[in-house]
Structures are given as C-alpha cells and as structure tokens.
Amino acid sequence: MIFTLSQQFATLLGTLTIVPAGHGAVCFRLGDLVMYVDPYSEAADYSTFPKADMVLFTHDHYDHYDTKALEHLVTEKTVFVGPKCMEEHLKLEKTLNNGDVFHWKGIEIKAVPAYNIINKKPDGQPYHPKGYGNGYVFTFGDFRVYAAGDTELIPEMEQLGHIDVAVLPKNLPYTMSDEQFVEAAVRIGAPVVYPVHYFELDKERLERELKDKIQLIYK
C-alpha cells in the first residue's frame, strides 16, 4: 500500500517510516519490520495495511484492543506486547508494565505511565487509572519515539529524556484538552508531533501556539 500520510526519518537502524493509522493507532516500518500500536478498525481499513511483526497495546479499551483490526494484520509469526490487563485477552510475547523495558530485534521498547489525573467517571474513578495502561518509548538506534497512549498531561512526561517524535492524544474527557496538549508538546520538546485520538481539533490554535517550535502532522 502507499502511505499517503507517511513520514520517513533516518535512524542508525535504517529508515523509519511512521504512519498515523487511525484514531489512536500508529504504524512503524523499519526495513522489513512492521509494528503497530493500538490498531482500530473503525478508523482505518486494515485490509490494505501490511501484516504485523508486532502489535503493541496500551490498554484493553475497545478502541485500542480491536479483534477486527487484528484479523487483517496478524500472522502466525506476529508477537503481542502489552500491559498485564491484556493477558486475559491474548498470549503476550512480553508483558510490560510501567517502567519495564523489552529489547526486540535491536529496538528498545520502554513502557511508561499513561493515566488521568483530572478527568474521572461519574463514580469518581479515573478513566485510565495509573498503572493500568502504558505509553511507550521506542528507541530505534539513536532515534526515539514516544507513543503516549491514553493519558492526560502527567509529570512523568518531563522524565522521558530526548524525544524525536511524539504521538499525543487529544480529546476530552478521556485524554487531553487543547491546553494540556500544547503544554505536553512543549514539555516533551519533540520537534515532530502527531495529534491522535481526536474527534475535534482546533488546528489554528495549536499551530499558532506551537508555531516555529514543533511540526504537527495530522492523521
């Protein structure tokens, strides 16, 4: 398939292609390797996408763990990676909880926190409790990508280290407001940011506030 929204980046491991793959999903292609985070079939036609060598899940909500999407992507060689909540759904190659690191085919994958502080359900529980789901930091040689998962602006974002590309969610009440999104992008400091998980987006405002600092790439 031709990725119309794909962007390519040079890394020590080769050329990395990043594709926003609908809703909160992202696809990475590095040489012959294809990796997905949270593929969701209601937002993309995955029958046209390449098969997955790895699928990572940030958590098990329906728009992040979608069996219909997996039907198009999975082969007998596909490996699954995710937090402990995914163990009841799939056989994981590796269970990663916040702080865990997994090395796979020369790529480092670190699970980092993703959670709500402000936004909560009517019963007072956060939509995404701390420790339940993950964000991920991928290190492709010298090139680092942060896929945030479902999260608000959280203190741990300032502890990520150097990030080259950030994939950040933007929608209320589950993730970030426009204000939080801008603040997160500034704190993380990645020169390239993909907004994802949004149903509405004030592009003019985001571009005005992040002008000359960050390149925004829309799904």
SS3 of residue 20 by DSSP: strand
| Percent of the chain topping pLDDT 90 | 71
The answer, yes or no, to whether the previous bond of 173 is cis (omega within 30 of 0) is yes
Question: What residues does each domain of the chain span?
Answer: 7-216
145 Cβ contact partners less than 8 Å away, ≥ 6 residues apart: 16, 18, 28, 137, 138, 163, 164, 165, 166, 167
For residue 199, the model assigns a pLDDT of 61
Q: pLDDT tens, 99-148?
A: 999 999 999 999 999 999 988 889 989 889 999 999 999 999 999 999 99
Strand partners, 126: 120
Q: pLDDT tens, 5-44?
A: 689 999 999 999 999 988 889 999 999 999 999 999 988 8
Q: Which of 48-62, 79-93, 153-167, 200-214 has the lowest mean pLDDT?
A: 200-214
pTM for the model stands at: 0.93
Q: pLDDT tens, 181-214?
A: 999 999 999 999 999 877 666 777 777 777 777 8
Q: pLDDT tens, 73-105?
A: 999 999 999 999 999 999 999 999 999 999 999
For residue 206, the model assigns a pLDDT of 76
CATH of domain 7-216: 3.60.15.10
Strands 143-147 and 165-169: parallel
For residue 4, the model assigns a pLDDT of 47
Q: How far apart are alpha carbons 192 and 175 in whole angstroms?
A: 20
Give the DSSP letter of residue 84. Answer: G
For residue 2, the model assigns a pLDDT of 35
